[in-house]
Chain A
Amino acid sequence: MSIPDSYDEMPTPQTSVLAATPVRRKRWTERVPVIKELRQSVGLQRGMLITGLVITLLFVVIAVFAPLIAPYTWAQQQTADGHSFGTQQAPNALNLLGTTVSGFDVFSRVIWGAQTALLVIIAAIVCSIFIGIALGLISGYFGGWLDRLLVVVADAIYAFPSLLLAIVMSIVISRGQSTLGGGIMATAIAITVVFVPQYFRVIRSEVVRVRAEPFVDSAKVIGVPTTRILLRHVLRNSTRSLPVIITLNASEALLTLAGLGFLGFGIEATAAAEWGYDLNRAVGDVTSGIWWTSVFPGVAIVLVVLGVTLVGESLNDLADPRLRLRRRAGGRKKIAAATEGAKACDALSDRRESK
């Protein structure tokens, strides 16, 4: 084909052909965070994700239906007809998992503990997401001295052992005293303060990236109000890594809650059931060979953290195309193909980096 002499001879592009393939609106299964990843996962990663999801779901169900599942309340020392449990009883028909040093039913406390844990995790995550996102948006979008100050403060807090910070916060909030609602809120707020810097850093770095995009400039030019730019143009495009951080933080929140409880700074036994506190009371039991007071609440913590972490880890791997295992087109040896694909990807990106 010869080169045309002038632009008049150039063929006009036919846009009508584009209409032949309409943009397919993504199904909801491709948009909802966790379900999207579940669909694209394969092999080992799918197994990890499903295991994590099953454990997490089980935990939520137990937490919600605790009143129906648990035979007694968390602070009950005798049956309804006045028959006392006795203290440090080995597992028996009356108390399926035995009783604690204070004569509470271990099984009931483990079940009710799920509810406490769920409440604290939700409260902590909701608080830290809102504060972290607000600060990150403002700091990243407007920049200036406020941005620099917030970054230095967030880094300082981030470098500090989170458990110690949570201890300081719970002293401040409750002065070491705890009631049901107060204890849960105090612990949640203490955990919030620890996690705000993480959300802040992630959102801020995304906002700084998005701010430089042309569509933000064009929105400014046509006079879109700043709040609308922030919420619609910037925030909407800065939240892609949130699901991973939320799940990873949920497990850390639970560990912090248990740590606070173990140091005697969580929620009192009569106010609510808390696994960390139960382990604190079980330290003495272990020395005399009483295993049921520590093993069951401990296993509960491990299981929930394990489940939530498995979900978070899998989401993290699936979000990174280099770590994601792939399905071979119509093939059987999925994993082998996937590793090859990942290797090719590695090689590709290495070449890109070396350029």
Chain B
Amino acid sequence: MAVDGAVLAPVQPRSRSKGGGLWRYILIRLLLIIPTVFILVTTVFFLMRITGDPITAALGGRLPPEQLAQRIHEAGYDRPLIVQYLEYLGNVFRGDFGTTVTDRRPVTEILLQYGSATLELSIYALIVALVISIPLGLIAAYRRDRWQDASLRVMAILAYATPIFFAGLLLKLIFSVWLDWLPVSGRGSTRTELLMGGIDTPTGIYLLDAIRLGNGAAIADVLQHAILPAVALGLLTAGVFLRLIRTNVIGTLGQQYVTSGRSRGVSEYRLVTKHAYRPALIPIITVMGMQIAMLLAGAVLTESTFEWKGIGFMLADYLKSRDFVAVQGIVVMIAVVVAVTNFLVDIIAAFIDPRVRY
């Protein structure tokens, strides 16, 4: 194409603060977290209080009425709702999510103790999801509308349609019970759990702790226990990622620079994995960040299926004992984690792609 000098815009003087747009974007995005978290905390608080106080819900019928009234008074649940709400907001702001009714533990302590288990599971699941979805997504995009694409898409829908706990139960049935290859549940065998208890300042991430111990048997044991939960949670996520990668890579494969690359003799493999895949990464990363919320919800179900003692397992446990202070604390904490993760993902996307900043 001939360049016509006359139509070129006059050169603009470069603005002095080169990264100003990015910092402004980060700041705005950071400020946007506050209303999101605030709305969720408010909604959850009022919803949970509409039908009564948490102490009656947890212990009603098990304690005599006088004792119940005394505990309600001690906890301050007989004061006006608005006073309780303001106090709760203040507490959450200081990082205090309340004390559980049934076993009287601070929710923060529960989160610290079990959060690492959920984190470990989520990381494994994410690895499984990426390892499965990236190559398959690229194949589906490259062989678009052929049989490979069709079967991969059906597989992705099937992964989505299978409830995570059913997938977990099937995996357990096949690999633990019938084939007897892998352990049924838990994060480690009794021996490993005992070893873990003996460490001072544990990270709570069993694999790291096992590596620090330098105990080969413990490392193998921890990994064996992690395989089934990670695959169950990872498969569901992989289905979503696969479709995402397929759609976006189809978009970039149709671009003219790919055709021009092909005409210059760039190999098909390189065209797909570099030319088409790299630019498709930005929307993929953004949507993957939004999937963190889904991953956490999936973790609740996976942990219950495999008795993986993380946040989700505890949440289900407290739900059963009707301890709504604990439930509220855990739900609010997850809301904060989701909001912060979405923020981080947006920032990463902004760093990769200047077009995102405004």
Q: Report A's interface with B, CB cutoff 8 A.
A: 44, 48, 152-153, 155-157, 159-164, 167-169, 171-172, 175-176, 251, 255, 258-259, 262-265, 276, 279, 282-283, 286-289, 291, 294-295, 298, 301-302, 305-306, 309-310, 313, 325, 335, 338-339, 342-343, 346-347, 350
Residues of chain A within 8 A of B160, CB atoms compared: 305, 309
Are A294 and B169 interface neighbours, CB within 8 A?
yes
Interface code B47-60, partner A: CB below 8 Å = 1, 0 otherwise?
A: 11011100001000
Task: List 6 tightest A-B contacts by C-beta distance, closest first.
Answer: A161-B297, A298-B166, A305-B161, A163-B297, A156-B39, A306-B161
Most chain A Cβ neighbours within 10 Å, of B161, B290, B331:
B161
- Chain B residues near A287 (CB-CB < 8 A): 172, 176-177, 184-185
Contact of A289 among B36, B157, B177, B331 (CB under 8 A): B177
**A350-B254 CB under 8 A given contacts A152-B39, A295-B170:** yes
| Stretch from B90-98, B276-284, B333-341 that touches the partner | B333-341
A89 to B47, CA, bound (A): 43
Contacts of B339 in A (CB 8 A): 159
Return the contact of B254 from the options A175, A295, A347 (Cβ within 8 A): A347
Stretch at the interface among B76-84, B193-201, B300-308: B300-308
How many B residues touch A, CB cutoff 8 Å? 57
| Residues of chain A lying within 8 A (CB to CB) of residue B111 | none
In the complex, are the beta carbons of B48 and A171 less than 8 A apart? yes
Instruction: Give the docked Cα–Cα distance between A291 and B319 (Å).
Output: 27
Q: Which residues on the A side are within 8 Å of B165 (C-beta)? A: 259, 262, 276, 279
Asked if B304 and A262 make an inter-chain contact with CB atoms under 8 angstroms apart, the answer reads yes
Contacts of B150 in A (CB 8 A): 44
Give Cα A346 to B249, complex, Å.
Answer: 13
What string of 1s and 0s marks CB contacts (under 8 Å) between B341-354 and chain A?
Answer: 01000000000000
Residue of B256, B331, B334 contacting most chain A CB atoms (<10 Å) = B331
For residues 299 through 336 of chain B, which have their beta carbon under 8 Å from a beta carbon of chain A? 300-301, 304-305, 316, 319-320, 322, 324, 327, 331, 334-335
Closest to B164 in A: A259
> CA separation between A301 and B339, bound complex, in Å?
31
- B305 x A167 contact (CB < 8 A): no
Instruction: With CB as the reference atom, state the residue of chain A lying closest to B162.
Output: A302
Which of A168, A176, A339, A350 has the most chain B CB atoms closer than 10 A to its own CB? A168
Contact partners of B320 in chain A: CB under 8 A: 264
Which residue of A has the minimal Cβ distance to B290?
A159
Q: B44 in the interface, Cβ–Cβ < 8 Å? A: yes
